[in-house]
Amino acid sequence: MGRYLPFAGKNAIAEMSIGILFQSAFDPGFAEKFPVIKDEFAADFSKCEPMQQFVLNFGAAQPFPFPPSVQPPQNPSGVTFTNVRADGSPARLFRIMSNSISFHMMEYTSWKEAKSLALNYIARSLTKLATIDKNPATAFVVRYCDRFTFDGDPKTASAENLLRRDSGFVVASVFGSGPNWHCNSGWYQPLINEDVALNNLNIASALMQATSSVTIDHTNLFGLAKPCNSLSELQEGTKDRPPLEDVLNKQHQANVEVLKKLLIPEILKAIGLEA
């Protein structure tokens, strides 16, 4: 009988992201800060890519086919820093774009290292941007994307080879329905005292190139009851909110608990999360 396995040896984590959302986009004025930001991270990342964000307006009043109304800024409105592997794919990525700052790890090592790097990059970028007093932080995000591939006849792959029927996260109809299905859900959960975090859990199983793969994409978003307009307050916390690091730890733990409820014991053992 076949079984699901972590897609890359002992690694099931295809991508992990840590991010902070802000009240407004960094766009106005980012172009002025871009050279300073670029220099700040030149030693950390091998590739720096300026980004531009466009607004496309599609209106019902316009005739079809209609030209989109485009207002392209002529200067960078964001930036992506990347460390790439020999094959050109990203290993680590740090992005400032729109109203978010995020760190992405495709070569995941540990929560300790990922968190340490993210906190370091976030602090340095916010120091150089110097906009948090006017553009406060509004939410923290932790996201894990896990992948599993099926070893066996792919047509026999089924949800019960990976997921617990009694997790409460997956509809019963996906079990026994073969290798193609998906189940998306969302719920609010207390994270810091009574303050809740939004969980999005998107699970998809697909047969592609004779391989059955399941992707488990879990995001935990903690919205701040009061926007934070100070880097020191972000890092040290307030009487109502722990420091950023502690909140991220709780968000990471939320992901662990979802996986422990979701996955069958053999899979938890394979990824080092057995009880």
Partner 1 sequence: MYRLDSIFPTQGYSYVLNVQAPSEILISSLVPAPCPETPTKDLFDRLTFLSGRYHSPFLPGSTPPSNQAFEDAKNFILTLPLTKIKRPSIRVAADGEVNFQWSGSDFKIDLGFYGNGKFSFYAAKTGQAPIIGDDILVDSGLSNDLISFAANP
In whole angstroms, how close is the CB of 81 to partner 1 at the nearest point?
A: 12
Residue 247 binds partner 1 (CB under 8 A): no
> Residue 55 or 236: which CB sits closer to partner 1?
55
Sign of CA dihedral 132, 136, 142, 145: negative
DSSP state of 43: T
> Residue 20 or 231: which CB sits closer to partner 1?
20
In the set 1, 60, 61, 86, which binds partner 1 (CB under 8 A)?
A: 86
**C-alpha of 22 from chain center:** 16
Neighbouring-strand partners of residue 181: 205
SS3 track for 14-31: EEEEEEEEECCCCCCCHH
Supply the DSSP string of 160-179, one letter for each residue.
Answer: GGTB-TTSSSS-GGGTTS-S
Binding mask 17-56 for partner 1 (x = CB under 8 A): x-x-x---------------------------xxxxxx-x
Q: Which residues contact 42 (CB under 8 A, 6 or more apart)?
A: 48
In whole angstroms, how close is the CB of 239 to partner 1 at the nearest point?
A: 28
Instruction: Let me know: does 75 contact 31? Beta carbons within 8 Å.
Output: yes
The binding site for partner 1 (CB under 8 A) comprises: 5-11, 13-15, 17, 19, 21, 49-54, 56, 67-68, 70, 72, 76, 78, 80, 85-86, 90-91, 93, 97-100, 102, 104, 106-109, 141, 143, 145, 147, 149-151, 198, 200, 204, 206, 208-209, 211, 213, 215, 217, 219, 221, 270
